[in-house]
Chain A
């Protein structure tokens, strides 16, 4: 099974900050990676798929990059609505494993 490791686990940032979250795969997954935003009591929301393709309706301050084993999710200017937990998930092979999550908190 492919393991997904996110870093950091928690991130404290201020409004307007540029934020970067890293997701590493235990073996190459090409570009078969998705990123989600999850808020308490709500359904996870798809942000990015195929490592770098922005889902329709997602603000352009979100971007994804990477291929192979290392990927990043960047928020160019942190907004109040962005404080949440972010997860990566690979779709390279079964099982479709999630990373453990990165919680973005207010500094």
Chain B
């Protein structure tokens, strides 16, 4: 059974870089069958797709964050990572990693497995 677990600092200072890791257990991230995504939810607001990364490092970003966000795949550790630069208080949110199925011909259909999420507060 595949499980995802986010980890990282719960508090980040304004203007610094937020770095999170998603550890995948019960399955390999080195698979052409899945995209791995990051989604966030600011307090009191809805879900926002941040972006997704494929096992080969191909990435897609939300245009609203593209200039500040980077994703990484570490196959040796079976982890994906997120860096969000120059954070402000508006980046305070619960961050989720999730798995989306992927078919080379038809694309992706849904995020079927999610981590429990990790709260990151941006404050000095």
Contacts and interface: CB of A to CB of B under 8 A. Distances in A.
A87 to B, nearest CB: 5
B72 interface: no
Interface of B: 37, 39, 46-49, 51-52, 60-63, 96, 98, 100, 107-112, 114-117
B110 A43 contact: no
Contact of A101 (B46, B52, B96, B100): B46
A72 B35 CA distance: 26
Interface of A: 1, 32, 34, 36, 38, 42-46, 49-50, 55, 85, 87, 89, 91, 94-101
Contact of B111 (A1, A32, A44, A100): A44
Contacts of B48: 98
Given A44-B111, A91-B108, 16 more contacts: A32-B107, A34-B109, A34-B111, A36-B47, A36-B111, A43-B117, A44-B47, A46-B112, A55-B110, A89-B47, A91-B110, A95-B51, A96-B37, A96-B49, A96-B108, A98-B48
At the interface, is chain B mostly helix, strand, loop or mixed? strand
B49 A98 contact: yes
A38 to B, nearest CB: 7
B111 A95 contact: no
Nearest to B65: A95
At the interface, is chain A mostly helix, strand, loop or mixed? loop
Contacts of A101: 46-47
B49 A87 contact: no
Contact of A87 (B46, B61, B96): B46
Contacts of B47: 36, 38, 44, 87, 89, 98, 101
A32 B109 contact: yes
B108 to A, nearest CB: 5
Contacts of B108: 91, 96
Contacts of B98: 44
B110 A94 contact: no
A101 B39 CA distance: 14
Given A43-B116, A95-B62, A100 B46 contact: yes
